[in-house]
A and B are shown apart, each in its own frame.
Chain A
Amino acid sequence: EVQLVESGGVLVQPGGSLRLSCAASGFTFSSYWMSWVRQAPGKGLEWVANTKQDGSEIHYVDSVKGRFTISRDNAKNSLYLQMNSLRAEDTAVYYCARESVGGGGKLDRWGQGTLVTVSS
């Protein structure tokens, strides 16, 4: 069974840093693009970033460029999101999601999410 389990979400002060992790199991992690998607309280879904199977190609939404870094460790079946210079507007549930094979970023498996709260 495919499983994605996020961790690392906490309360952090504005300007602080945080690293989210996503542990994958039940599939060949190194064969898939992976994404982070977030949902702010009362808002819709927002795609944040993705990484190619070997990490050689990465994309970000403009609002996090220069502040967030997505990475992966295929030996550990893990995806990461390093979040720096956090702002109140980064407060959200962060989901790890697998991009389906066959082309494009359709997200066929999602974790349960981890809550990041940025507040003083």
Chain B
Amino acid sequence: DIVVTQSPDSLAVSLGERATINCRSSQSVLYNSNNKHYLAWYQHKSGQPPKLLIYWASTRESGVPDRFSGSGSGTDFTLTISNLQAEDVAVYYCQQYYSTPWTFGQGTKVEIK
């Protein structure tokens, strides 16, 4: 199974500042046949279901604000939230969908400083 590890476990960021979350997979999630990274990011707010933010490591889901961006390659990926807003308080998960079982990182809790 591919192990996915996020860092940090939590972070507090001032409104309007940048939040950076890292994600590392135990093996590459790049499919050479299509040159795509099978890595997604989700936002999970309390009392709501998770919401897909980013897929293919850097493609923003329709309707997701452009302050959310994904980057990275191979085994190391980053979710960046620029200009943090109060509504961005949530737990963020990365997930690999390269091979089953799909696996999630342990989550990163983002709070307002």
> A residues engaging B (CB < 8 A)?
35, 37, 44-47, 50, 59-62, 95, 100, 103-108, 110-113
CA distance A100 to B52 in the complex (A): 10
Given contacts A47-B104, A59-B101, A108-B61, 18 further A-B contacts (CB under 8 A): A37-B50, A44-B93, A44-B105, A45-B44, A45-B93, A45-B104, A50-B100, A61-B101, A104-B55, A104-B98, A106-B52, A106-B97, A107-B40, A107-B50, A107-B52, A110-B51, A111-B49, A112-B49
Smallest CB-CB separation from A107: which chain B residue? B52
CA distance A108 to B95 in the complex (A): 12
Q: Which residue of the partner chain, among B49, B61, B102, contacts A110 with CB atoms under 8 Å?
A: B49
CA distance A112 to B47 in the complex (A): 8
* Chain B residue contacts of A111, Cβ below 8 A: 49
Check B52–A108 contact: CB distance below 8 A.
Answer: yes
* Binary CB contact string for chain B from 46 to 90 against chain A (1 if under 8 A, 0 otherwise): 001111100100000100000000000000000000000000000
Q: Which residue of the partner chain, among B49, B100, B106, contacts A44 with CB atoms under 8 Å?
A: B106
| A95-B50 contact in complex given A45-B44, A45-B107, A100-B55, C-beta closer than 8 Å | yes
In the complex, how many angstroms separate the beta carbon of A53 from the nearest chain B beta carbon? 16
CA distance A95 to B105 in the complex (A): 17
Check A106–B55 contact: CB distance below 8 A.
Answer: yes
CA distance A49 to B86 in the complex (A): 34
Which 9 A-B pairs rank lowest in CB-CB distance, beginning with the nearest? A110-B49, A105-B97, A104-B97, A59-B100, A47-B102, A106-B55, A61-B101, A44-B107, A106-B40
